[in-house]
Amino acid sequence: MDCPFCKCDPYEYVDVGVGFVPVAVTCCDLGIDLIQYGGKKARQTLANMRSYSPRKKARAMKVLREYGIKPERRTRWQ
Ligand SMILES: [Zn+2]
31 CA distance to ligand 1 middle (Å): 4
Does position 15 have pLDDT exceeding 90, yes or no? Answer: yes
DSSP characters for 15-78? E-SSSEEEEEE-S-HHHIIIIII--HHHHHHHHHHT-S-HHHHHHHHHHHHHTT--TT------
Report yes or no on 4 lying in a domain: no
Cβ atoms of residues 6 and 27 within 8 Å: yes
9 CA distance to ligand 1 middle (Å): 7
Number of folded domains that form the chain = 1
Cβ atoms of residues 10 and 37 within 8 Å: no
Q: How confident is the model at residue 78 (pLDDT cuts 50, 70, 90)?
A: very low
Report yes or no on 44 lying in a domain: yes
Report yes or no on 29 lying in a domain: yes
33 CA distance to ligand 1 middle (Å): 9
Tens of pLDDT, residues 38-60:
999 999 999 999 999 999 999 99
Task: Supply the pLDDT for residue 55.
Answer: 97
Report yes or no on 51 lying in a domain: yes
Task: Supply the pLDDT for residue 36.
Answer: 93
Report yes or no on 41 lying in a domain: yes
Report yes or no on 48 lying in a domain: yes
Structural domain that includes position 56: 11-66
